[in-house]
Amino acid sequence: MGSARSLFDKIWDSHDVAMLPDGRHLIHIDRHLVHDLSSPQAFSGLREQGRGLISPHRTVAVADHMVPTLAGRTLACAVPGGAEMIGALEDNAREFGIDHYGMAHDRQGIVHVVAPELGMVVPGMTVVCGDSHTCTLGALGAWAWGIGTSEVEHVLATQTLVMRRPDAARLTLSGVMQPGLSAKDLALYVLREIGVHGKGMGFLELAGELVGGLSMEGRLTLCNLGIEAGARAAVIAPDDVTLEYLAAVRPDLSGSVQAQAAMRGLRSDEGARYEQELALDVALDSPQMTWGINPSQVVGLHEPLPSLETAQEGHMRDRLRAAYRYMGLEPGRPLAGTPVQRVFIGSCTNGRLSDLEDAARLIAGRKVAPSVQALVVPGSKAVKRAAERQGLDKVFRDAGFRWGEPGCSMCVGMNGDYVRPGERSVSTTNRNFEGRQGPGARTHLASPASAAAAAIAGVITDHRELA
């Protein structure tokens, strides 16, 4: 070898099956996750062509997008057309011999929450799923990225993808975060600084002291929002935090000297080069929240919203104006104090146990404001059971929250949980696009603590003032 290799070089080299005559590479996919929304057409394609799966044991099916969250749910509770999609996943899994975590399975949940819990993702793997937030799983040191349905079909049939080597970048985060702020505040701050590039950072390594200091759950949250910054995959090199997490979910690997050494070696060598090197010195002193209609339109809760004059070009000003109109807000005023009608805690961004704990700490002994409808949906059945063992369900229920069954729920607004037109929602999810949580919904992306504070106060509030 001799030459210095980056984390990306190492993962790429170890998965490069062959180069095609046209110069593209065949990359092996170690783990393939499929769900109810993006897979039915891929399985139909296979069936039409008479094709099967090369490695069904590397594929896992999880129902999450369409599943209802009502207690005691059955397929009859699904939205019209939903039961057909959930049923198609189950039928396809059976027909093609794939492990299936359907609505009734005791480990069901959101695919990006379930996969790490079940030890399906380990450092150095290539992982794909027909879902853009697959980048979440890069927190475990895996190269994980979202694909389209045609690619889902390609992976099902061949266990590979055809691609050109993507551009790789590294973002180093240093600096300080005040106590009480979370990985979500950090992720929103990064989006605010980096913007929604829309320009191919195929692989983004997240590095630096702030990243190293995060728990595994915090890292999953940070990587989850990588796609919103234009990075298809966001990856953190494995360290002690990673290996400790892995020891709990994959105890079988703890005894393998070979595996431990290989995972430890998954880091960029001294002098390794990326196509782009980015650095951000973070000075985070207040909760961050989106005010507009894309995830980079972020402010601190007490800062004035940006004035229209900050936009140089006319069409950029129009864009700001459209965001203000849609969100029913005005430049110059802070978000703090804005009345809220909905609060949602959950999703692949913030539906893990530590997220529920953060919110419950604030909520304990308090009541949801009468003007607010609040919903908490654990990211998986395992999270739900763990939370119930701690009595968090009672904390939420006593305060006036609805306690749901696991699923994507009000993040994507497809399963019957949605925000009504014009309602303002503080949500721990990942997208505030127009209509994302329902037609006309006004979504503010925030941390679990910020969402909890909004539920209690009935207005957007700095949670540190409540604590």
Partner 1 sequence: MDRDNVDTDAIIPQRWLITVSRNGLGKGLFGGWRYDDEGRPKPGFAMNLGAFQNARIILSRSNYGCGSSREHAVWAHLDYGILAVIASSFGPIFYDNALKNGLLPVVLPADQVAALMTQVNEAPGAACSVSLADNTVTGPDGRSYPFALDAVRRDLLLRGADDIAITLQMKDQIKRFQECQRLTSPWLE
Residues 280-299 that bind partner 1 (CB under 8 A): 294
Q: At its nearest, how many Å lie between partner 1 and the CB of residue 305?
A: 18
List the one residue from 5, 10, 32, 58 that touches partner 1 (CB under 8 A). 58
Q: At its nearest, how many Å lie between partner 1 and the CB of residue 80?
A: 7
Q: According to the binding rule CB under 8 A, does residue 414 interact with partner 1?
A: yes
Q: At its nearest, how many Å lie between partner 1 and the CB of residue 438?
A: 8
The single residue listed with the structure tokens 């105890």 is: 251
Helices 216-224, 240-249: axis angle to 10 degrees equals 100
Quick one: 131 or 355, whose CB is closer to partner 1?
Answer: 131
Q: According to the binding rule CB under 8 A, does residue 435 interact with partner 1?
A: yes
Site for partner 1 in 310-339 (CB under 8 A): 315-316, 318-319, 322
- Map residue 176 onto helix, strand or coil: strand
- Map residue 401 onto helix, strand or coil: coil
List the one residue from 4, 54, 104, 247 that touches partner 1 (CB under 8 A). 54
Size of the site for partner 1 (CB under 8 A): 79
Alpha-carbon span 30 to 419, nearest angstrom = 38
Q: According to the binding rule CB under 8 A, does residue 234 interact with partner 1?
A: no
- Run of H or E residues at 47: helix 40-49
Q: At its nearest, how many Å lie between partner 1 and the CB of residue 120?
A: 11
List the one residue from 60, 61, 67, 122 that touches partner 1 (CB under 8 A). 122
Q: According to the binding rule CB under 8 A, does residue 218 interact with partner 1?
A: no
Alpha-carbon span 390 to 242, nearest angstrom = 25
Q: At its nearest, how many Å lie between partner 1 and the CB of residue 347?
A: 13
- Catalogue the E-assigned strands of 194-319: 201-207, 231-235, 276-284, 288-290, 298-300
| Long-range contact set of residues 83-86: C-beta below 8 Å, sequence gap at least 24 | 85/36, 85/37, 85/40, 86/36
Measured CA distances, 435 to 195, 359, 422, 441 (Å): 21, 25, 10, 5
Q: According to the binding rule CB under 8 A, does residue 10 interact with partner 1?
A: no
List the one residue from 300, 351, 406, 413 that touches partner 1 (CB under 8 A). 413
Quick one: 160 or 354, whose CB is closer to partner 1?
Answer: 160
CA atoms within 13 Å, Cβ hemisphere of 438:
17
The number of beta carbons lying within 10 Å of the beta carbon of residue 400 is: 17
Q: According to the binding rule CB under 8 A, does residue 412 interact with partner 1?
A: yes
List the one residue from 82, 109, 406, 407 that touches partner 1 (CB under 8 A). 82
List the one residue from 34, 63, 85, 455 that touches partner 1 (CB under 8 A). 85
CA quadruple 97, 102, 104, 105: dihedral sign? positive
Q: According to the binding rule CB under 8 A, does residue 379 interact with partner 1?
A: no
Residues 6+ apart with CB under 8 A from 304: 331, 332, 333, 334
Quick one: 106 or 313, whose CB is closer to partner 1?
Answer: 313
Q: According to the binding rule CB under 8 A, does residue 20 interact with partner 1?
A: yes
List the one residue from 132, 350, 373, 427 that touches partner 1 (CB under 8 A). 132
Site for partner 1 in 177-206 (CB under 8 A): 196-200, 202
* DSSP characters over 380-395: BHHHHHHHHHTTHHHH
